[in-house]
Amino acid sequence: MGGDIGPAVTMIALRKFMVEHSRLRVILFGAEPTTAFPDDQESAQLASRVQFVNCSSVVESGERPSSALRHKGGSSMALAVQAVADGDASACVSAGNTGALMAFGLQKLKTLPGISRPAICSYIPTRSGEVLALDLGANIDCSAAQLHQFALLGALTARIVNGIANPKLKLLNIGLEANKGMKSVQEAATLLAEDVRINYCGFIEADRLFHGDADVVVCDGRSGNIALKASEGVASMISDIYRDHINSHWLSRLAFRVFMRSTASLSQRLHPSRYNGAYLLGLNGIIIKSHGGADSQSFYEALNLARLAAGENLPSVLAPLLASDLSASVHQTRCGDE
């Protein structure tokens, strides 16, 4: 029921997803008949793998998380998260109110060992592939200890999900010098340098986020969200300028068609829909947050991210690693080591 459009997007994405993954079973939480497939033969086959749960309410986009916790216990969002807590679902995907989703996650799933707050964690495209970035908006002010927790979560996730044996991790900062940045960032850098589980490679500035200098970038929610929104704005501006230029002359339109044919795979790799979906990382259960403005292809990508996380059983794998004693950890090769 979440997102700017709701079932008109989520149901189209879900139909495509279920066709491609024939063993997948789904629980849909919402208001029937909006959460129903069209009446055709293929949909009838898919419907046999779907359980509908009719919900008494919906969390509104602007609703305060505290209000949702008090008054929306029977909402589609609350019941979807509860299904993960009860073991009835392997993951929850929502395009709804981020704050409420985080609140229900904390209430019903709790956090993993040693983690005080979950972080919004997502992939960002780079010149050489992609980087895992966290926190992207869940925690506005973060202590050094929380940044250290996010770093450990990010490093372990990159190792488990992306298969990177020794991911390079950097801290987002306003400069590369040791004396630059807020006190919490400087203190976090010390903690990361001392943690043998993390391949800490120093600070990174925002202009290097997309150059592939790191596998994981850690920041507080305010800095991460601003960096993400600014980059989205720049990408949108460049796209608009190109469109205006192309439409200004027939020769430009012809050249653009030729160019697009030769760079189709590049366009597909960089399309924003491919990077929709963020982990609420640090919870003792899988919740994937989709962008509220996602179209059906973007929501499909969020569903696929949930499938991958569930396939890796991410929280269950992370929990013992987070609880392990530092002295028992295997030393990782560090940046600059021979």
Question: Which pLDDT tens digit goes with each residue over 276-335?
Answer: 889 999 999 999 999 888 899 999 999 999 999 999 999 999 999 888 744 444 445 677
Confidence at residue 329, expressed as pLDDT on a 0 to 100 scale? 46
Instruction: Report the distance separating Cα 76 and Cα 82, nearest Å.
Output: 10
pTM of the model: 0.85
All structural domains of the chain: 1-115+282-324 (3.40.718.10), 121-272 (3.40.718.10)
Residue type, 69: L
Residues paired with residue 37 on neighbouring β-strands, in sequence order:
none
Q: Residue 269 pLDDT more than 50?
A: no
Classify the C-alpha dihedral 11-72-87-288 as positive or negative.
positive
**Band (180; pLDDT cuts 50, 70, 90):** confident
**Mean pLDDT over all residues of the chain?**
86
Question: Which pLDDT tens digit goes with each residue over 99-130?
Answer: 999 999 999 999 999 999 999 999 988 888 89
